[in-house]
Amino acid sequence: MGAVVRTENLTRRFGKLTAVDHLNLEVAQGEIFGLVGPDGAGKTTTLRLLAGLLDPTEGQAFVAGCDVRQDLGRVKDSIGYMAQRFGFYADLTVQENMHFYADLFGIGRADRTELAGRLLKMTRMQPFRDRQAQRLSGGMKQKLALMCALLHRPQVLFLDEPTNGVDPVSRRDFWTIIYELVKDGMTVVVTTAYLDEAERCNRVGLMHEGRLIRCQAPDVLRRRFELPCYDAEMPDLRSGKDFLEQCGGVASVEPAGASLHLFLFPSQTSAQTLEKALASAGLGPARLRPIDPSLEDVFIASIRRERERRI
C-alpha cells in the first residue's frame, strides 16, 4: 500500500532553533506509526506541520494524497488531530461536546446520532454521556477528546501523547480503541513518551533534536542494533556505572533495575576485560552477560551516539 503520510526534507525553524530538521518520512495506509524522542525532539512540531497548523520553513508534507500547504482544506477534511490539550468545554456534557464538534464539522443530525452512538460504545463511555466534561477522570477526558476528533470519519488520525498522565488501565483501553480504528483502515500517527507504548506500533521513528535518527519496527530496532548489549551485576552499581563510563569501548551504560545495561564496541573491549577491570578497581565481583536489548536500551544508546557524533 502507498504512503498516506509523506514528508520531503520537512523543516521548521523558530528563529535560530531548528525544531524539525529535514525530515523524510513515509507512513503506509493502516499503519500505527509512533514518534518517540526526548522533550524538545520535534515530535509535536512534526504533527502540527502534518496537520497544517504550522507552515514549514523548508520542504513539503503530503497527507492523504494532498500537499498540506497547497490543499489544506482537503487535508483538514481527511485528518483527525488530538492535541495534548484538547479544547472541549468543561461545563458541557460528553454528548453536548460531541454535538458541538459535529456542528463544527457540518455533520447532519442522522449521521451524528449513528456515529456518536458507535463511538460511545467503542470507548465504553455510554454511561457517562450526560456527565459534564469537568467531572470526568483523566482517562475519560482523553476518550472524549478522541471521540470528538473522530466524528467526521478521518482517514488519518494524529495523536500527540494521548495517554500522558493517564492511569495504566485507561492507557490500555485507549490502545484497544486505536487497534479497532486501524482494523477499519485508519492510519494513526502517535507521539508518545512511553516506550512500552512504542512497542505497540507497527513502526517507530526515534527523533533527536529535530532529526529522525532511526525508523524501523520495534523488534527490528532491538534485534539489529549494531552494538552488543550486556547486563552487568556488581555490588555497587553507582560506582560501577561511574567507572564503566570512563572505560574505553563502552558506548553507553544505564541503570536497569538491580543491574546495569551497557553497549560495547567489540573491537575495543569485551565483557571479560571489563569484569577484570572492575575487580582490579575493587568493584567486583562483577558479571557481564549478553542480553537482547529492550527498546528503551536502544533508544538511550541511539541518543547518546547521536550526541557524540555532533560534538
- Kindly list the domain boundaries of the chain, sorted by start residue: 3-215, 226-292
pLDDT band at 287; cut points 50, 70, 90: very high
Find the length of the chain: 311
pTM of the full structure: 0.88
pLDDT digits (tens, 9 = 90+) for 195-210: 888 999 999 999 999 9
* pLDDT tens-digit series, residues 212-221: 999 999 999 9
Q: Which fold has domain 3-215?
A: Rossmann fold (3.40.50)
User: What is the C-alpha separation between 240 and 260, in angstroms, rounded?
Assistant: 9
Residue 160 has a CB neighbour count (10 Å cut-off) of 22
Asked if 290 contacts 230 with a C-beta cutoff of 8 angstroms, the reply is yes
Element at 13 (helix H, strand E): strand 3-14
Each residue's pLDDT tens digit, 16-54: 999 999 999 999 999 999 999 888 899 999 999 999 999
CB–CB of 175/142 below 8 Å? no
77 neighbors 70 (Cβ within 8 angstroms): no
Measure the CA–CA gap between 116 and 123, rounded to whole angstroms. 11
- What is the C-alpha separation between 123 and 176, in angstroms, rounded? 9
Residue 118 C-alpha cell reads as 458507535
Are 3-215 and 226-292 in the same CATH fold?
no
Provide CATH code, domain 226-292: 3.30.70.100
User: Could you report the per-residue pLDDT of 77-119, keeping only the tens digit for each?
Assistant: 999 999 887 778 889 999 999 999 888 888 888 888 888 888 9
Q: Which three cell numbers stand for residue 31?
A: 499503519
